[in-house]
Amino acid sequence: MDTPLVVVHYEKMIRNLDRMAAFARAYRVRLRPHGKTHKMPQIAKMQLERGAAGITVAKIGEAEVMAAHGCDDILIAYPLIGNEKVERLLALARTVRVSTLVDSFEGAKALSDAFLRERMRLPVYVKIDSGLHRCGVQPGEEAAQLVRHVVSLPGLQFLGLLTHAGHAYAAKDARDLQRIGQGEADCLIETAEILRKEGIAVQEISVGSTPTVRISGAVTGVTEIRPGNYVFHDMTQVRLGVATEEDCALRVWARVVSRPNKNVLVLDSGAKTLALDRGAHGVEGVSGYGRIVGYPDCVIERLSEEHAVVKVPDDCPLSIGDVVEIIPNHACPVVNLTDQVYVIREGQSAEVWRVEARGKTS
């Protein structure tokens, strides 16, 4: 097999899937994994076979691919703004159960108007900002105001509250992670209490990022978890203490193509394979663009499009033609950059799996 190559270690992936499914069962929360990490209906199917209640995606294009391959309960966890998206959402809602989130009065009204025109109702979550400061309304009264508006719109069915504690990726240590995970659940539960006192039913309390899911998902009152990265894990999760290198199922095989001097070698996996992303929402403590397995002293210092420049110690035994295995910093963009992955499984020949939903821009 030629390099560079994105490889999935089947047994590691299965262990990751099984562990999260067991966690969801133990805490009686619905697992709705985020498919933006793998973008492969094949893997979504494996998650559903292990008890996932449905799948989460970020884009309509991903939802369309998942629906075409048999996923019939899809949450698009992204504010869907613009007529083109609303039309595609309507078409999708005619074939599968689809839900989405809103974080604005305008966005909610536009969705409601479109669904009402077609005599349909769209199930929606209200997105809350639990500290990432990206999308979402503030917990408490600000969120309650938006929920009251959503409840009043005839084209929408209010499902519950949703957040994603992506700021956990910048957690300083395990205590900080614990605080962020607890806060992720608490801010939804406290907002739900305000609403329930007014007689508004809040069915879903939906949380989840891979670093926080075992904390927020264990809080009483949470009904749904949406981890994505856990299927593969990566060096970012290792750095956060959430996974070990052994758990990292997605790797890149790269070849040494040059050794310009004894302290530098060049691999054939550049930014177009490994991605320049050094980790989601926080890069503190990150050194280089991934870990070369078995060579902890070699640091991938620089990436250009097709080259990785690696600083190596004097006695590094690697030479031109050798193949190394790299655990990327962030698995999700690596998948999005490749058409297919090679799935390797003990005792079997490698299988090629297509990344069906890759590169969807909308």
Ligand X SMILES: Cc1ncc(COP(=O)(O)O)c(C=O)c1O
Closest approach of ligand X to the CB of residue 280, in Å:
7
- Cα 243 to Cα 291: distance, rounded to the nearest angstrom: 14
Task: Tell me which of 136, 160, 183, 227 binds ligand X, using CB under 6 A.
Answer: 227
What is the phi/psi pair of residue 283, to 5°?
-125, 15
Tell me the closest approach of the beta carbon of residue 90 to ligand X, in angstroms: 22
Please identify, using beta-carbon distances, which residue of 108 and 312 lies nearer to ligand X. Answer: 108
> With respect to ligand X, which residue has the nearer C-beta, 34 or 39?
34
Give, in degrees to the nearest 5, the angle at Cα 36 between 74 and 95: 25
d(CA 210, CA 243): 10
Structure tokens at 165: 């504690």
Closest distance between ligand X and the C-beta of residue 166, in Å?
A: 6
Among 99, 100, 112, 210, binds ligand X (CB under 6 A): 210
Using the contact rule CB under 6 A, the part of the chain among 188-196, 205-213, 251-259, 338-346 near ligand X is 205-213
Q: List, in sequence order, the alpha helices (H) in the chain.
A: 10-26, 41-49, 60-68, 83-93, 105-117, 141-152, 174-197, 213-216, 235-239, 271-274, 331-336
Cα-trace Rg, the chain: 21
Give every CB contact of residue 361 below 8 A, 6+ residues apart in sequence: 59, 61
CA distance 136 to 133: 8
Stretch that binds ligand X, among 7-15, 194-202, 221-229, 245-253 (CB under 6 A): 221-229
> 228 or 328: whose CB is closer to ligand X?
228
By beta-carbon proximity to ligand X, the closer residue of 214 and 251 is: 214
Nearer to ligand X, 170 or 265 (CB): 170
**Using CB under 6 A, which of 16, 130, 229, 269 touches ligand X?**
229
Q: How far is the CB of 3 from ligand X (least distance, A)?
A: 27
Minimum distance of ligand X from residue 309's CB (angstroms): 28
Cβ count near 45 (within 10 Å)? 16
Query: Is residue 208 a contact point for ligand X (CB under 6 A)?
Result: yes
Q: What distance in Å separates the CA atoms of residue 186 and residue 169, rounded to the nearest whole number?
A: 19
Q: Residue 282 — left, alpha, or beta (φ > 0 → left; ψ -120 to 50 → alpha)?
A: left
Where does residue 7 fall: left (phi above 0), alpha (psi -120 to 50 degrees), or beta otherwise?
Answer: beta
Token pair belonging to 21: 């499914």
Per-position x/- string for 76-115, each x denoting binding to ligand X as judged by CB under 6 A, each - no binding: -x--------------------------------------
Residue 226 as a binder of ligand X (CB under 6 A): the answer is: yes
CB of 300 to ligand X, least distance (A): 22
Which residue, 226 or 251, has its beta carbon nearer to ligand X? Answer: 226
Binding mask 14-53 for ligand X (x = CB under 6 A): --------------------x--x----------------
The span from the CA of 273 to the CA of 336, in Å, is 9
Q: Which stretch binds ligand X (CB under 6 A): 46-54, 85-93, 145-153, 224-232?
A: 224-232
Nearer to ligand X, 9 or 214 (CB): 214
* Helix (H) / strand (E) containing 298: none
Among 209, 216, 223, 269, binds ligand X (CB under 6 A): 209
- Identify the burial level of 102 via C-beta atoms within 10 angstroms of its C-beta, where 0-12 means exposed, 13-18 middle and 19 or more buried: buried
| 164 touches ligand X (CB under 6 A) | yes
Binding of residue 188 to ligand X (CB under 6 A): no
Q: Which stretch binds ligand X (CB under 6 A): 92-100, 220-228, 241-249, 311-319?
A: 220-228
Q: Given CA atoms 8, 11, 14, 18 in this order, what sign does their dihedral have? A: negative
Q: Summarize as ranges the residues that interact with ligand X (CB under 6 A).
A: 34, 37, 56, 77, 164, 166, 208-210, 226-230
